[in-house]
Structure 1
Amino acid sequence: MNRTLVATAVAAAGTLLALQTSVPAQASSSSSFTPTSNPVLFVHGYTGDGNNWNTMAGRFQNDGWPSSHLDQWTYDWHQSNATTAQQLSAEVDRLLSATGATKVDIVSHSMGGLSSRYFLKNLGGGDKVDAWVSLGGPNHGTDSANSCFDTSCTEMRIGSSFLASLNSGDETPGAPRYATWWSPCDTVINPDSSVALSGAANTKTACLSHTGLLSDATVYAQVRDMINS
């Protein structure tokens, strides 16, 4: 009988200790989201979808962003980036209306940087976007696009008429804050220098794969701090 009581007491003490150690960890976490933080619209790349952002969006949510302010948008990646930009414009309006915000932040991966830049440059997006981020974007083309033939992919080829028009004049027009991240180990974007834009804050990452840019904790923290500044 005494042994049973002792065992029960030990188990109860262990449970209490677990509860006590977990509470401070939750209580000590601070939210990065503030009343001035914008909703984030994620734009995936070629062959992707909104689920590509699950890790990053989850980190934003852990840092205080409500799910209503995290839009993991999916579009038809086969179509022209100009067509996607028009649909993106409508999605931005929907997100602004749903959240009551006046501006959004756009975080793009790979080809998603092209349609979102087109939106900013040609469709009045500069008035609706505070910060724009490109992770591994083929902003000046990539030789990887030589082996695929969807309209969107041919637009990513080095020297394409789409990129020539997009990059003509000011590469970072209007009021939005622009930032890019590129990896020296990204074998999809060739050359590496394709990512950087004149007028943007261009950051070299650690040795990450093209998709690794989406899940790296350091890249996330840098992106979060940039759009939230």
Structure 2
Amino acid sequence: MHIFFNMLAIVFVIVALITLLSYAIYWYESANLSPELMEQRFAPRRLLLALRLLVGETLLLFVSVLLHPLGWIWPAEKPTVDNSRPPIILLHGLFHNRSCWWWLKRRLKRTGYRTIYSLRLSAWHDVEILTELIAKKVDQLRLQAGVEQVVLIGHSMGGILARNYIQRRGGAARVAHCIQLGAPNGGSKLAPFAVSPLARNLLPGSTFLAELNASKLPADIPLTCIYSRHDNIVIPSSSGRLPGSREVELQGMGHMGLLYHKTAVRAVLDALGDPSA
């Protein structure tokens, strides 16, 4: 038991250091883009916000790391078929798995959504292979539920894969709504730190992102882009924007906070047309 708690402490320290480093880079980029921030850096409200972001994001990332093994051992999902609402497919981000969706799935089910599937996306596969996996799951759920369209909700890299499917791989007609949470639509300056080859696609100015952003957004389906001004992974935070979509800017939460924070959950439910949150 003593060894177990020591391991937990080590994991927590590593998570805290990662969060601190990411926010240090966030601050560096923000201050260079807006030098006037230097004059406000020691203001009490600024220090309180910084502390809240660091503590909140550390705790949420720590919980996600602890839950991560469950995403490997959980059996394949068999979602309940409900024809009254379109099926929802959840697409997680880089280095995460299905376990990161537990809270949002719970809230979606409480508001009446029953057909929810969280897809496994390997960090070591090519972006087009992952997009093909999404296409197959979309068709499978459409057939299973007897509907024409599904809803895609993607966090981080998952949001980019959702765009690739509807913009470049002919999936627009099969999607009723696409919702992004903290997707690096303009890339992220933290991408070089990722060891996965998939992260190369998220470098600002990468060939993949240039081609994706050059393709037109489908005009016949709603696309909601939810991003945080204080995202510590999508750097700069403006890279989370998606011109032409319905943009929802949040603040007071980091990258993982977009999966748990009540304001982010409410934004998802509002986008789906559910006023309750």
Q: Same fold (TM over 0.5)?
A: yes
Are 2:125 and 1:79 aligned? Answer: yes
Aligned to 1:43: 91
Amino acid at match of 1:209: G
Structure with the largest fraction of helix: 2
Contact 2:229-2:238 at 8 Å conserved across structures: no
Aligned in 2, Cα 1:177/1:122: closer, same or farther, shift over 3 Å? same
Aligned to 1:54: 102
Aligned to 1:90: 136
Residue of 239, 242, 253 corresponding to 1:197 = 242
Aligned to 1:221: 266
Q: Cα offset for 1:168?
A: 0.6
Distance (Å, rounded) in 2 between the aligned partners of 1:214 and 1:109:
8
Q: Cα offset for 1:224?
A: 1.6
Q: Cα offset for 1:73?
A: 1.1
Aligned to 1:64: 112
Amino acid at match of 2:93: G
Distance (Å, rounded) in 1 between the aligned partners of 2:194 and 2:110:
37
Which segment drifts farther, 143-152 or 51-60? 143-152
Gaps of 5+ in 2: 1-81
TM-score if structure 1 supplies the norm length? 0.80
Instruction: Give a deviation string over 1:133-176, Cα, whole Å, max 9, x none.
Output: 11100111000101224221010000110101111142x22422
- Secondary structure of the 1:57 match is helix
Instruction: Give a deviation string over 1:76-103, Cα, whole Å, max 9, x none.
Output: 1222222211110001011111111211
Contact 1:183-1:192 at 8 Å conserved across structures: yes
- Secondary structure of the 1:167 match is helix
Are 2:258 and 1:210 aligned? Answer: no
Aligned to 1:146: 192
- Secondary structure of the 1:143 match is coil
Q: Cα offset for 1:35?
A: 6.0
Contact 1:39-1:105 at 8 Å conserved across structures: yes
Contact 2:188-2:239 at 8 Å conserved across structures: yes
- Secondary structure of the 1:208 match is coil
Q: Cα offset for 1:50?
A: 1.1
- Give the 4+ runs in structure 1 shifted more than 4 A: none
- Secondary structure of the 2:85 match is coil
Contact 2:142-2:149 at 8 Å conserved across structures: yes
Q: Cα offset for 1:36?
A: 4.9
Q: What is the alpha-carbon root mean square deviation over aligned residues?
A: 1.6
TM-score if structure 2 supplies the norm length? 0.67
Aligned in 2, Cα 1:159/1:102: closer, same or farther, shift over 3 Å? same
Distance (Å, rounded) in 1 between the aligned partners of 2:204 and 2:111:
38
Gaps of 5+ in 1: 1-33
Distance (Å, rounded) in 2 between the aligned partners of 1:54 and 1:169:
33
